[in-house]
């Protein structure tokens, strides 16, 4: 099938590459000529394991192409996927200007039936906006061309996005058009072979499903962080509590890991957008506000531990920082807890020596060159001259380090662990002062 993707960012690029991988003819349209030129050379502007091979393989075969030509994109695909960003406005609402712009472009060039697919994470009612925008552009041209608008939200996890697309848990199709539903079912058939993963529903329910899924996962994380803070004050170990409650199949072990707060491009934005949506229909979403409030507070917990340990003697100290990305497997630092910590340490007059397996270039882009921020070549290099080690991302590389070497290189054998990677008893036996999240250490 012929498919057009508007937007070659994270969602658009993964979606286009994976559709091409199963034999479709995919054209990705992007307004950024530099990004298009990069992709045409087979280079990937994001860090996503396995994606570069898929893009290069299908680019070489001719099944995956990139262009800035909107008219070519509208003419190419029976399916017109909208996969552009929906960044948050100041009031928390999702900014739909890019979605509207794509819809307007489709309407300005449409001359035959198309299925317009909202892949971006968008508020409930966006399909109506897209439909009205396309219809208005057609009316300006004096034309009446049939088209369908459906919702097909993405559920890709950064770090395993290719695997998620190729072997999905579910494929949500929100449509009020039987023809469009059948076409989407046929399009997704290669990903739906051993059991039926495709779930059909109305458009508004599909739009809400995406937000509800992310809000539920964010709620689980904030709940566990709330319990971790309580456990700390009660002298309990949240990791033992986690194992105890996770054994209940009604709860399970997924997304109940306490830590330094959640970040990324999805959870913070989508919780705020859903809460805004609730306000727009005069509903007070108390739980959603609490999820966000707990997460914002959690991003300050580790610095509070650092400040309590060192007292008034923070200025001039150096900290080794392991992990900058909001989670392992990605270079994404949007809303990352590390950014809150960096600001707090810098405001206190500290120097940070940092390492991340993937996010070093992103950190350079965000912060540039500054004397109080040194990006090191390895995790162990960060320890030179450092007063303590701080862990903010649970990369597997950090899970089993050489503790003897760490102790020897640090000025003081102190570890602040924002991801609960280590056994507190073992580290204390090794001579470390060890602070984690909710592990009974009241300091």
* CA neighbor of 66 nearest in space, from 7, 1, 24: 7
Classified as helix, coil or strand, 266 is coil
Contact 150, 179 (CB under 8 A): no
Identified catalytic residue from 18, 266, 350, 376? 266
Query: Is residue 194 within 8 Å of residue 238, measured between CB atoms?
Result: no
Contact between 397 and 379 (Cβ < 8 Å): yes
Residue burial 260-293, b: 16+ Cβ < 10 Å; e: rest = bbbbbbbbbbbbbbbbbbbbeeeeebeebeebbe
Report how far apart the first and last C-alpha atoms of the chain are (Å, whole number). 60
- The answer to whether the beta carbons of residues 121 and 153 sit under 8 Å apart is yes
Q: Is 334 exposed, middle or buried (0-12, 13-18, 19+ CB in 10 A)?
A: middle
Cβ burial of 167 (10 Å; 0-12, 13-18, 19+) is exposed
Per DSSP, 410 falls in state S
Helices vs. strands in the chain: H and E counts, helices first: 17, 14
**Residue (of 394, 392, 297, 303) closest to 350 by Cα position:** 303
Give the β-pairing of 373-375 and 388-391. Answer: unpaired
| CA–CA distances in Å: residue 152 to residues 111, 112, 147, 173, 324 | 23, 21, 16, 5, 31
Strands 388-391 and 351-355 come out as unpaired
Short-list 56, 20, 21, CA closest to 38? 56
DSSP string, 148-201: EEEE----PPTTSHHHHHHS-S-EEEE-S-HHHHHHHHHHTGGGSSSS--EEEE
- The string of DSSP letters for 97-122 reads HHHHHHHHHHHHH--S-EEEEE-S--
266 assigned to active site = yes
Burial of 220 (C-beta count, 10 Å sphere; 0-12/13-18/19+)? middle
Residue numbers annotated as active site: 266
């Amino acid at each position: 099938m012929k498919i057009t993707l508007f937007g070659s960012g994270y969602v658009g690029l993964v979606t286009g590459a994976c559709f091409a991988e199963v034999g479709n003819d995919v054209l990705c349209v992007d307004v950024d000529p530099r990004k298009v030129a990069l992709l045409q050379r087979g280079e990937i502007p994001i860090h996503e394991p396995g994606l570069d091979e898929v893009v290069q393989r299908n680019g070489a075969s001719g099944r995956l192409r990139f262009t800035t030509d909107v008219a070519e994109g509208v003419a190419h695909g029976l399916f017109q996927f909208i996969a552009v960003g929906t960044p948050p406005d100041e009031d928390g609402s999702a900014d739909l200007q890019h979605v509207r712009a794509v819809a307007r472009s489709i309407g300005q060039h449409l001359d035959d039936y198309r299925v317009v697919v909202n892949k971006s994470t968008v508020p409930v009612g966006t399909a109506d906006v897209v439909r009205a925008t396309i219809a208005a552009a057609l009316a300006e041209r004096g034309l009446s061309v049939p088209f369908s608008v459906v919702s097909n939200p993405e559920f890709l996890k950064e770090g395993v996005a290719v695997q998620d697309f190729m072997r999905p848990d579910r494929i949500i199709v929100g449509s009020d058009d039987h023809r469009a539903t059948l076409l989407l079912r046929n399009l997704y058939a290669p990903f739906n072979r051993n059991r039926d993963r495709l779930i059909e529903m109305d458009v508004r329910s599909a739009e809400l499903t995406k937000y509800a899924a992310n809000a539920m996962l964010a709620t689980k994380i904030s709940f566990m962080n709330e319990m971790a803070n309580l456990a700390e004050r009660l002298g309990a170990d949240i990791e033992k509590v986690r194992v105890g409650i996770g054994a209940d199949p009604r709860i399970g072990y997924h997304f109940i890991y306490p830590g330094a707060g959640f970040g990324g491009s999805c959870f913070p934005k989508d919780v705020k957008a859903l809460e805004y949506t609730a306000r727009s229909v005069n509903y007070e979403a108390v739980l959603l506000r609490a999820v966000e409030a707990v997460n914002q507070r959690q991003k300050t917990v580790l610095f509070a531990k650092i400040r309590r340990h060192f007292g008034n003697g923070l200025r001039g100290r150096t900290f080794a920082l392991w992990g900058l990305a909001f989670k392992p497997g990605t270079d994404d630092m949007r809303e990352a807890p590390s950014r809150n910590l960096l600001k707090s340490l810098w405001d206190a007059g500290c120097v940070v020596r940092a390492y991340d397996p993937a996010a070093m270039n992103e950190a350079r882009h965000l912060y540039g060159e500054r004397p109080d921020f040194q990006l090191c070549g390895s995790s162990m290099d960060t320890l030179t001259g450092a007063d303590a080690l701080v862990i903010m991302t649970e990369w597997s590389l950090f899970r089993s380090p050489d503790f003897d070497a760490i102790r020897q290189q640090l000025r003081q054998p102190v570890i602040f662990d924002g991801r609960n990677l280590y056994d507190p008893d073992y580290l204390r036996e090794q001579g470390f002062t060890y602070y984690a999240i909710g592990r009974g250490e009241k300091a």
